[in-house]
A and B are shown apart, each in its own frame.
Chain A
Amino acid sequence: MSGSTILGVVGSAVILLTLFEMMRRHRLREKYALIWALVAVSVITVALFPVLLFEASDAVGLAVPANLLFFCSAIVILVLTLQHSSELSRLEERTRTLAEELALLRLQVDRNHRAEQQHDPSHDESTS
């Protein structure tokens, strides 16, 4: 076993174990875990069967197989980051809507409270 194989297998195993542990503790949702799991499995495959990488880079016409590896890693990371940005935007929009609704509800509650007190002044804090 060459050094690069060991490095790849150990790295992927660490990712997979971390994924499993995070999901077990409800720290990660499946939709994110799936992508990372795919990444880890691909790394293991390439580490165990480097011939796949050599053949792929030959097919594309790259002299150095490592370049294909780096290119693919960069693309994967880019896509993941983009996905996170889009999730963030969605979350921000939801937070904004929640904040607006909260403000309107708070206004309504204050108003009802005041109306109640005005309607029946003997109705004190303890009962409202």
Chain B
Amino acid sequence: MTRPDDRRTVGSIAGVPQGPEGLRVLVIVPAWNEQDSITGTLDEIRECVPWADLLVIDDGSGDRTAAVAEAAGATVCRLPFNLGVGGAMRTGYRYALRNGYDVAVQIDADGQHDPRYLVDLIDLMGDADVVIGARFAKADDPYIVRGPRRWAMVLLAWVLSRLARTRLTDVTSGFRASNRRAIALFAQHYPAEYLGDTVESLVIAARAGCRITQVPVTMRARTAGRASHSPVKAAIYLCRAIVALLLALVRDWPAQLEEGAEMPPSPAAPGPATRPSGARPEARP
């Protein structure tokens, strides 16, 4: 739990009723059985980026996640059954596309991602189509992963760095921002398979010619259920990562079964008109 002190200044943006450069920003929070942590995460996000809209994708939770998130003031999209992060995120990107958002940021509901980095991610949107909030980018990163799991991460990062022609240190991070171009791409092609939501989606973005960059972030230790320390599971993770990466690299374009494809509606479609007035506290220019 080390948070750099200079980050505290980010809070000074609070109160400004719009994003930087008047961007419409959507924060997508995929949540599956997160009723205990979702309120804290949402409050924190709102504190850091009060001008952004919050969309929680309830991924078929068996608990009260959706109700809790709604009570916390977020827009909640309920999936009828669990689709995994990939399915939840594609729903989020479709929502962002149809409602004409300029930037969509995805952030985990479990509090692992520090929302104070959201501003950094959004600030870089001018230079890139996809910005990853990445671990391991700084020497003093307290988030330590060892063994086969670490090798897998290094290998994936190395391949993706070549593909994106930039240095990426953490391609399995679920903390990232996308602009209109990437939103339109992800609304159509966002894999539901294992590691597809992170690695394969980046491969798709890179192959589609999106510019990818990263911001160094410090992630917090998950409060409950840290990624397993078992060496067997770590080795399985390594194998699955390699398979997922190879598949992503050789997959036919588009990288998904044609049934999943759908022509995206014009990104210029007016979104804000569908919003009931006064439903949300924040003001829009």
Contacts and interface: CB of A to CB of B under 8 A. Distances in A.
Contact of A99 (B83, B275, B277, B279): B83
B112 interface: no
Q: Which size bracket describes the interface of B in this complex? A: 20 to 34
Contact of B260 (A97, A103, A115): A97
Interface string A86-128: 0001100110110110111011100100110010000000000
A93 B274 CA distance: 28
B262 A97 contact: yes
Contacts of A102: 79-80
A100 B79 contact: yes
A48 B77 CA distance: 62
Contacts of B79: 99-100, 102-103
A114 B256 CA distance: 36
Interface of B: 57, 75-81, 83, 87, 90-91, 94-95, 98, 192, 256-257, 259-260, 262, 274-279
25 contacts: A89-B257, A90-B257, A90-B259, A93-B259, A94-B259, A96-B87, A97-B259, A97-B260, A99-B80, A99-B87, A100-B83, A102-B80, A103-B77, A103-B78, A103-B80, A104-B91, A106-B78, A107-B77, A107-B95, A111-B275, A111-B276, A111-B279, A115-B277, A115-B279, A118-B279
Interface of A: 89-90, 93-94, 96-97, 99-100, 102-104, 106-108, 111, 114-115, 118
A90 B87 CA distance: 15
B179 to A, nearest CB: 21
Contacts of A104: 77, 91, 94-95, 98
A100 B94 contact: yes
A112 to B, nearest CB: 8
Contacts of B275: 111
Nearest to A118: B276
B274 A108 contact: yes
